[in-house]
Each structure stands twice: as structure tokens, then as C-alpha cells.
Amino acid sequence: QVSTRFFKPIIQLFPVVVIILYGFLLFPAFSGQIGGTFRTTTMPAEYRELSKLIENSPSFRTLWIPQRQRFGYFSLSHPAMDGRAFIKDETPSAMAQFLHQPDTQIVLARYRVKYVIVPFDSEKEMFVSDRRYDPAVEKSYHSLLLSTPWLTRVSGFERLTVMENPTI
């Protein structure tokens, strides 16, 4: 009888202690102190501007080089294509070779690609070398697109490089 009298309050308090401990352990996740999956990210303003530009236009495709960033806009009437659709090797030199071929403009016009876009890597997850973000890799893609003679730059975007195919 002595043992039941001693353990009864402990048994009754055990669920309360577990709930308090569980709340204490999860508090950093709910208060935004943990990075990774629990970190909140906001869409950069340039991506919102780009989505407005694309939404208010007739149906066409966008080509993202080397690939679409997580905030890159797409819809059923404005599908997004990655550079991988045309080239398996995603290096800047392979993309430059593809974009500077004489028939590339015609090929992209057949696919109804109006905009060719190099995203800016707001999350530092795309342009990597040796598994780390490398701003030189990102810069090489932006300068590659700017040096493509048959594309015209769309104004209003600083960190995104948005180029228009004039044949669409």
C-alpha cells in the first residue's frame, strides 16, 4: 500500500511532464530559431514582378537556364522548361554552345519560348561548385545570356536576367 500511495501522484503527473518536455523541445521550431526545413522563406520581389509580367501575356513558354528556381513562375498556359530539355550537360560552356548555334532561335520559336531566364539564386542552392554556392558560377550564366546576340533584355530586373526571344 505504501508503494501505490507513493507512485500514484507520479503516474498522474507523468503525462503533464511529457507534454511540457515535448513543448520545450519543439519551441525552437515554432519560434523560427531552427534553419533548414523549419526556416520560413519569402518570395523575392523580382520573382513577383516576373510572375505579373508572364501572367498578363498570351500563352508561351519560358526557358530557365540552367533550371527553374523554386520561385520561378509557371502555369498551364505558361509552362516552364529547364535547360536540360535541350542539353544534358548543364555547364555554362555547353549552354553557350547551344545558345550561339545559328538555328537555336528557330528551335526555341518552334517550342514557343518567349523568355529565356537565368534565375538569381536567392536560396544559394543552384549555382554550386564543390557542393557550395559559388557566385562565379551564377555570374557566368548571367553573362552568357547577356552575350547572346539574338535575345533582347527585358528591363526592370536587376538580379534576374530575363531575355526575350523577338520571334515570338
Over the stretch 121-148, which tens digit does the pLDDT of each residue have?
998 989 998 889 999 999 999 999 999 9
Question: What are the Cα distances from residue 73, in Å, to 37, 57, 86?
Answer: 22, 13, 20
Reading the block at residue 116, the C-alpha cell is 529565356
Q: Is 0.75 topped by the overall pTM? A: yes
Each residue of 5-40: pLDDT tens digit?
777 888 889 999 999 999 999 888 888 788 777 777
DSSP code at position 154: P
Check: CB of residue 70 under 8 Å from CB of residue 123.
yes
What span, in angstroms and rounded, lies between the C-alpha atoms of 123 and 32?
A: 17
The backbone torsions φ and ψ at residue 94, rounded to the nearest 5 degrees and listed phi first, read -70, -40
Distance, C-alpha 140 to centroid of its chain: 18
Check: CB of residue 150 under 8 Å from CB of residue 105.
yes
